[in-house]
Amino acid sequence: MLPPMKRAIYCLAACFSSTIALSASTELTYWDFLGGGDGIRMKQIVSEFNKSQTEIHVNQSTLTWGEPFYTKVHTAVVAGQTPDVMTYHLSHFAAGIMEKDLRPISTEELAQAGLKASDFQKSLIDRSLELSKTYGNTDQLFGVPLDSHMLVLYYNKTVLQKAGALGSDGKPTGLDGIDAFTKMLSTVKEKTHLIPVSANVYSEDPASLWRMWYTFFKQQNGDFLKNGQLSFDDVTNQGTKSLQVLTDWTKQGLIPKNTGYSSMVALFSAGRAAFMINGNWEVPTMVDLKKGGKLPFEYGVAPFPKLFENQDTWADSHQLAIPNDQKKPASPEKVAAALKFIAYVVKQVTWAGGGHIPAYLPVQESEEYKQMVPNNEYSAEGAKNVVFEPPLPIFGVGGPTFSPISNFLVPAANGQLPVDQAIKKFTAELEGFAKQAQK
């Protein structure tokens, strides 16, 4: 047994040694905007990463989704007080790259983390590189894809069966075109006296209506770009038709008026609607309710149907990115640590439990993911039909376009503004944003 003095010296040495080991680990600050099931899963992944090794420790902070998040990031870049890694939307890349908020990631840096561009869903890499070249004048990536998420069609099998709108394969009938779909919805309403489609048509949350309108618009081969320039020709034509469909649906009682996001989910999950048009991120809500015995019906999730000329479907992608802190540039060690964390995150099938389609192909093609229900009902086809936001800085999450969507498109869908007036006011405001962005 050691004498008291030697025991004290030994204890001090051991404590000092553990302090050195702790201080030698790299601390990473990670900002995200993930709530609900996404937030729960990301916290689980961060916790597992921190337990997996001692060299890096990630401190996670969750901020408000949308414009507040991207304003906070830009302010942090200007002030030189950025996090080390952050979650980012692909749809905000054009604005983020142009404002120099994102640090490019070289092929060599990716390789050191055991990653390469070909490991990821090609459509995501292609769009990311397109934006890199256009706004960053580089062929380097400004983020690493985590997933693709898109609009899908949730359906109540029990209600559809009663209405005679469920096929022998257990899938809805009447999905072969906008006229057939509208007719089927009218039949469901007549026979069940329930809401045919639970949808979010509410001015305080315009993102949901935008996703539906943009899907209809793209399925008619509509585009905001002509010869590389912003154009509203298709908005006036295909865009008007898309908005008219939504307006007619509310007028006919096929979708409820002035329904917010939480109400939309509640109406469907309570069995009061035959369908819900929403993103695949509500899959965990359905899975958890089913598992807890709180879902009063059988349900399914389908890729968004081909209602017009093609099956293009609104989509976005969560990415993991490194802020471009020019006042206090990240050291090579910090960048390597951030990329090691990023590589760990994108390889976790846990994230797919949130309903998203993994961007990392070895996960997307794994048997574990292919057996995941109900993801396997929509993921294979859904990944093929993704169509992203227009590649312009005024669009995307946190962009200024949500204001005219809320002010003009939403009121038109609720019968409060003529469709043609709404489209004219919408395009006029977008044109103003575009001119301001060019100054």
Distance between start and end Cα atoms, the chain = 78
Residue 155 has pLDDT above 80, yes or no: yes
Per CATH, the homologous superfamily of domain 151-315+400-438 is Periplasmic binding protein-like II (3.40.190.10)
Q: What tens digit of pLDDT does each residue of 199-220 get?
A: 999 988 899 999 999 999 999 9
Q: For residue 391, is the peptide bond before it cis, meaning its omega torsion is within 30 degrees of 0?
A: no
Q: Greater confidence, 6 or 42?
A: 42
Q: What is the mean pLDDT of the chain?
A: 93
Taking Cα atoms as reference points, which of 388, 363, 349 lies closest to residue 89?
A: 388
In a 3-state reduction of DSSP, which class is residue 399? coil
Q: How long is the chain?
A: 439
Q: Which is it for the CA torsion 321, 344, 356, 221, positive or negative?
A: positive
Taking Cα atoms as reference points, which of 134, 59, 41 lies closest to residue 96?
A: 134
CATH number for the domain formed by residue range(s) 26-146+317-386:
3.40.190.10
Residue 10's pLDDT is what?
Answer: 46
Residue 2 has pLDDT above 60, yes or no: no
Express as a percent the part of the chain with pLDDT over 70.
Answer: 94
* Gap between the Cα atoms of 396 and 89, Å rounded: 8
HSE (side-chain half, CA atoms, 13 Å) at 127: 24
- Six-digit token pair at 322? 């490194």
DSSP string covering 424-439, please?
Answer: HHHHHHHHHHHHHHH-
Q: Are 243 and 215 a contacting pair, CB within 8 Å? A: no
Q: Where does CATH 3.40.190.10 sit in the chain?
A: 26-146+317-386, 151-315+400-438
Residue 219's pLDDT is what?
Answer: 98
DSSP code for 405: I
* Gap between the Cα atoms of 108 and 110, Å rounded: 5
* Gap between the Cα atoms of 413 and 34, Å rounded: 29
> What would the mean pLDDT of 236-251 be, rounded to a whole number?
98
Helix axes 36-52, 332-346, angle to 10 degrees: 120
| Prediction pTM value | 0.92
> What would the mean pLDDT of 70-79 be, rounded to a whole number?
98
Residue 24's pLDDT is what?
Answer: 54
Let me know the angle formed at the C-alpha of 57 by 52 and 62, rounded to the nearest 5 degrees: 110
Q: Which is it for the CA torsion 408, 305, 172, 370, positive or negative?
A: negative
Residue 285's pLDDT is what?
Answer: 95
Taking Cα atoms as reference points, which of 151, 191, 181 lies closest to residue 172?
A: 181
Given pLDDT bands bounded at 50, 70 and 90, which one contains residue 18?
very low
